[in-house]
Chain A
Amino acid sequence: MFIQLLLILYISLTLAILYIISSKYLGKKINKELLRYRGENVRIEILSKLYFILKVVKIITSRPSVLLIVLGVILFMIISAEATTPSHVWYEVKTYKDTLVSETIPAIIFKFNEPVSTSLINDLYSSIKKYLHSSRLDILDLNLFLRVMLDEPITIDNRDIYVVVGVDSKIFKEILNLSINDILKLRIVDDEYLIPTQGYIGPKPIFPPLNSVYITSLSRAIKILRLNTTYATEVVISLKGNTSYEVTNKLLDNIANAVNKHEFIERAYLALGNATYAYSRTLIPSINSFIIALLTSTISAMVIIAILSSLIPELLDLYRKLMIIGLPPWGGRIIAYIFIFIFIMILGIITLSLIYLGYGPTSTFNSLITFTIVSLSSLAYITKVVKVKELVRSESYIPVRRHYTYVVKSVNVDYVENVVKNSLVTNEFFDVEEIESKRYRNEVIIHSRLNFRESWGSGMDLNIILSTHDDVVKVYISTYPWGIEEISESMLNTMIALAISKIVGAIKSCILA
């Protein structure tokens, strides 16, 4: 209940902050900029264009659907985080030659968080024994290791000892014969060196100074550390029996169960000679939670795209209007991107960081999937929908001309006159009401009254003058459209275009013939 109240508080606070930023801060800046522009009569700069764009973003922000986007982003990210079911997994690690675990004998190795007493180890041992019995495996040997780094040094043989390593007596005898360099290379398993490491520089381990390390038998180490009972930090259980594929799988499951049951186990290993597997307490998101994250991402992406699609017509309409008053061609996309950036990206990042604090890193991973998919899909959608329209030839409009001039070379004027008359008579869009022509020296005047067939009571008067200069014939076409009642401009334009194009087309085709 408390978390829910906190969430409601967070959502309302986020909305309030976003509103204050958009209305107060931006509003003031924009007004100031506009005043500056009006008062001092200065040129519009890039900054003012930006303020202009932000003002448009503010207009879009005031729509109630924005609230749905905010709610959707926050809710689906939280659902995704809550649905996370992390799990532990087995993974294969490198098998080294210099390990204290035999290369041929299979073994289970447990590493503890801190030194663990024999009572707890016995408890673990008995549970493992039960599992091993079901897998038809026997325990061959049990080796305990105690590796302790001290805060306060212990003085042994006039040396300040900071690291005490206690090993089983059999192993201790073997170690005694080794040189210092060989001892440094010794590992229990994987990255667990016999001498505890202080850290790594790249892959290279850093060991404590060797004169402060004391390697001894386990019993002596217990005495030095003044422990009342046997303690261990690592346990190596050597096994006897056939480790087939099925047995190994069952064993891996049983060890995982043992780790999950006993809190003091930090890590478990299963060494099989040719391969070594490690089981970490580090949580990894499961496939199930990954599917949920994808599902919530899909739903949220669809929800947000659906909401955005309702905003798009208004945005485009606004953008078209703004283009007329000087918004640059890229302005529309910038407005849309700023909107996405504020209401999805910034909001998502804030929510993601809060989820990290509240739910932890594994849940954040799931929310990150949702956030990424939502951001990318909304960006892709916006990019696809808000396109900057280029004024190509097909989209540029030139008003229809009422007068047209055309020049024809090497043609007799009588021939052109006949062609024009014929084109008027055979025009399928007009009925010829009257047609007459008269010749004055080197000029022919044709007058015609046409009735438009598609609309009753409308038509046009045509005056065509054919004048000759040497062997050139100039054709002047003048149109006077009319209607006995009010007709639309588009119809007038259609009539003019149909009449002129027929005459010009007829002349052109006759010349070509």
Chain B
Amino acid sequence: MYISLTSIICIELKCLIRCRVTYLLSLFTTLLTFLIILSYGKVRLTFILASLIPITSSTITIGYTTIKQMFHTLILIGAPRRYLRISLIIISLMYSIPYSLPYIAVSISSVVYALLIVMVTYNLTLNLFLRGVRREIERMI
């Protein structure tokens, strides 16, 4: 019997909390809020939105080793590929909400943009890690 989607999400969330990604997310969100408020009307929105790419990627890369271990375990215990993909989308969406919230100070459309940028960046980076782990396992076999 396969491991359920909820269990996969729970394992992933637990790992992200353990490897400081969640704490870093809250810290970056606070700093980003201050930056948006202070630079409102001065800095072009494009730059503020673009800055989300390195910020979100760096939050995940700090827990690179732990996240890779987590994927390793999930693949070995037989987590289906489809469930893993879906869980990553859900996790990305969950983590993109706090990042996009500070953009309410600018406009609703910028919130949507921020949500999309963070979600895509998160998902791409996590998928990159997952692919790396899968390749490693294939090499081992």
| Contact status of A303 and B54, CB under 8 A, knowing A79-B43, A309-B61, A310-B62 | yes
B118 within 8 A of A: no
* B31 smallest CB distance to A (angstroms): 5
A211 within 8 A of B: no
Q: Is the CB of A306 within 8 A of B43?
A: no
**B contact patch SS:** helix
Q: Is the CB of A82 within 8 A of B54?
A: no
Neighbouring A residues of B35 by C-beta, 8 Å: 79, 292, 295-296, 299
B59 within 8 A of A: yes
Q: Is the CB of A299 within 8 A of B31?
A: yes
* A232 smallest CB distance to B (angstroms): 38
Neighbouring A residues of B50 by C-beta, 8 Å: 71, 75
Query: Looking at the complex, which one of A83, A306, A309 makes contact with B38 (CB distance below 8 Å)?
Result: A83
Q: Is the CB of B31 within 8 A of A295?
A: yes
A156 to B62, CA, bound (A): 80
* A117 smallest CB distance to B (angstroms): 37
| Contact status of A79 and B59, CB under 8 A, knowing A85-B42, A303-B54, A310-B64 | no
Neighbouring A residues of B38 by C-beta, 8 Å: 83, 288, 291-292, 295
* B139 smallest CB distance to A (angstroms): 16
Q: Mark A307-325, 1 if CB is under 8 A from B, else 0.
A: 1011001000000000000
B44 within 8 A of A: yes
Neighbouring B residues of A298 by C-beta, 8 Å: 31
Neighbouring A residues of B46 by C-beta, 8 Å: 4
A134 to B32, CA, bound (A): 43
B65 within 8 A of A: yes
Q: Mark A178-218, 1 if CB is under 8 A from B, else 0.
A: 00000000000000000000000000000000000000000
A73 to B58, CA, bound (A): 13
Query: Could you tell me which residues of chain B, from 22 to 46, have a CB within 8 Å of some CB in chain A?
Result: 24, 27-28, 31-32, 34-35, 38-39, 42-44, 46
Query: Looking at the complex, which one of A83, A291, A302, A304 makes contact with B28 (CB distance below 8 Å)?
Result: A302
| Contact status of A82 and B53, CB under 8 A, knowing A302-B28, A309-B62 | no
A72 within 8 A of B: yes
* A79 smallest CB distance to B (angstroms): 5
The count of chain B contact residues (Cβ–Cβ below 8 Å) is 28
Neighbouring B residues of A291 by C-beta, 8 Å: 38
Neighbouring A residues of B43 by C-beta, 8 Å: 79, 82-83
Neighbouring B residues of A82 by C-beta, 8 Å: 39, 42-44, 47
A78 within 8 A of B: yes
A65 within 8 A of B: yes
**A contact patch SS:** helix
B74 within 8 A of A: no
A39 within 8 A of B: no
B51 within 8 A of A: yes
Q: Is the CB of A299 within 8 A of B55?
A: yes
B48 within 8 A of A: yes
B128 within 8 A of A: yes
| Contact status of A306 and B42, CB under 8 A, knowing A75-B50, A292-B35, A299-B28 | no
| Contact status of A64 and B128, CB under 8 A, knowing A82-B43, A299-B31 | yes
A310 to B20, CA, bound (A): 13
Neighbouring A residues of B24 by C-beta, 8 Å: 302, 306
B127 within 8 A of A: no
Chain B, Cβ-Cβ closest to A4: B46
A68 within 8 A of B: yes
Query: Looking at the complex, which one of A72, A295, A296, A310 makes contact with B54 (CB distance below 8 Å)?
Result: A72
Q: Is the CB of A68 within 8 A of B42?
A: no
A68 to B128, CA, bound (A): 14
A76 within 8 A of B: yes
* B34, B39, B46, B64 pick with most chain A CB within 10 angstroms: B39
A79 to B128, CA, bound (A): 28
* A76, A291, A302, A304 pick with most chain B CB within 10 angstroms: A302
A296 to B32, CA, bound (A): 9
Query: Looking at the complex, which one of A76, A304, A307 makes contact with B51 (CB distance below 8 Å)?
Result: A76
* B127 smallest CB distance to A (angstroms): 12
* B129 smallest CB distance to A (angstroms): 10
| Contact status of A310 and B32, CB under 8 A, knowing A75-B47, A79-B51, A83-B39 | no
Chain A, Cβ-Cβ closest to B53: A71
Q: List 15 A-B contacts (CB under 8 A).
A: A68-B54, A69-B54, A72-B54, A72-B58, A75-B50, A79-B39, A85-B42, A291-B38, A295-B34, A299-B31, A299-B51, A299-B55, A302-B31, A307-B57, A309-B64
- Closest 6 interchain pairs by CB? A310-B61, A306-B58, A72-B54, A310-B64, A82-B43, A83-B39
Contacts A295-B31, A299-B35 aside, 14 further interface pairs with beta carbons under 8 A come to A4-B44, A71-B50, A79-B35, A82-B39, A82-B43, A82-B47, A83-B42, A292-B35, A292-B39, A295-B35, A303-B55, A304-B58, A306-B61, A310-B64
